[in-house]
Amino acid sequence: MTRFFFLAAVLVGHAFPFSTVLRAADRPNILFIFTDDHAPHAIGAYGGWLQGVNPTPNIDRLASEGMLFRNSFCTNSICGPSRAVIQTGKHSHINGFRDNGNRFNGDQQTFPKLLQKAGYRTAMIGKWHLGTDPQGFDFWKVLPGQ
């Protein structure tokens, strides 16, 4: 090995860990808020008719500083199955969670698992309603009875 190739290999080897740290610092923070039976007209950021009745200043601030979904939907209107659809990106008949009372198969690929693989730290706090312990989260705290 020539001296040039040796020095190049050493420099590349030492630069790689620092480049991954920089890329991690450049990743955006993600806060995904998923509510139950919450119509968009009840959140001020969407400009709905309830914004003066029930102000949501903190959610509105988060929306103004980040991303606001204006054309999104879930393919199942039932609580547990809609959560499984959001987790997997798959229709209920494909992810296997069709009705409340089913048990979610957490072994399948989910959005939180993909985020973990990309270096994100993930957490789920609140209502889970999938009948199994959450997978793909570094921290989780499920409400009692969920």
- Amino acid identity for residue 41 in this structure: H
Helix-, strand-, coil-residue percentages of the chain, each rounded to 5: 40, 5, 55
The conformation of residue 97, written as its DSSP 8-state character, comes to -
| Dist. CA 125–CA 25, nearest whole Å | 24
**Catalytic: 93?**
no
**Catalytic: 74?**
no
Q: Is the CB of residue 128 less than 8 Å from the CB of residue 146?
A: yes
Query: Exactly one of 38, 74, 93, 129 is catalytic; which is it?
Result: 129
Query: Exactly one of 14, 38, 74, 79 is catalytic; which is it?
Result: 79
Catalytic positions are: 79, 129
